[in-house]
Amino acid sequence: MKSAILKLFTVVLTLMIITNSNAQNENEKYKSAALEIVGKSDYCALVTVEKSGLPVVRTMNPFPLNNDFVVWFATNRKSRKVSQIQNNKNVVVYYANHSQAEGYVTINGTATIIDNKELLMSMKREYWNSIPGWQENFVLIKVIPKTVDVVNYSKGVVNEPATMRSPEIIFE
């Protein structure tokens, strides 16, 4: 009896290890597919929420994304997006190149306003020189991902046929 239980335990443990390994491999595939789509996008959409609860979408020029999927933007401290983030930190960042129909990436996360002059200066873009007073007026937005949805046709990362649900990377 003990031998049968031990064998069953070994089989279950082996299946758990295989399942976890497959999930990790799948997650890495999704991350790679997402980074490819994002890497081809100079612009993205940032979605915030007004006090009334309505979403607001605007085009943004993000800083390059790293493997951690933390998104950074610079903006005017008096912009609507800053006050909207201060009222509701939940945001969505959407990357896609619809003219090429390669796929899309949606990052659902939590935004924070970073008012750090030294960090801002280290991230400075050349074209900011043409913006009067940018050093005093700009702050950074940092978006920490909770989940990332990805579709990348060339990598075979596509929606689930029955529900059209896109593959998801969970960060929380």
What's the DSSP call for residue 131?
Answer: S
CATH number of the CATH domain containing 131: 2.30.110.10
What percent of the chain is predicted at pLDDT more than 70?
Answer: 86
pLDDT digits (tens, 9 = 90+) for 42-85: 999 999 999 999 999 999 999 999 889 999 999 999 999 999 99
Identify the H or E element spanning 167.
Answer: none
Q: State the sign of the Cα–Cα–Cα–Cα dihedral 13, 14, 17, 22.
A: negative
pLDDT of residue 24: 63
Task: Locate all alpha helices (DSSP H) within the chain, ordered by sequence.
Answer: 2-39, 80-87, 117-122, 134-137
- Per DSSP bridges, beta strands 71-76 and 138-152 are antiparallel
Phi, then psi, of 18 in degrees rounded to 5: -65, -45
pLDDT of residue 26: 85
pTM for this entry: 0.84
Residue 135 has pLDDT above 90, yes or no: yes
Residue 8 has pLDDT above 50, yes or no: no
- Looking at the 3D structure of the chain, how many domains does it have? 1
| Domain span including residue 38 | 2-170
pLDDT digits (tens, 9 = 90+) for 120-131: 999 999 999 999
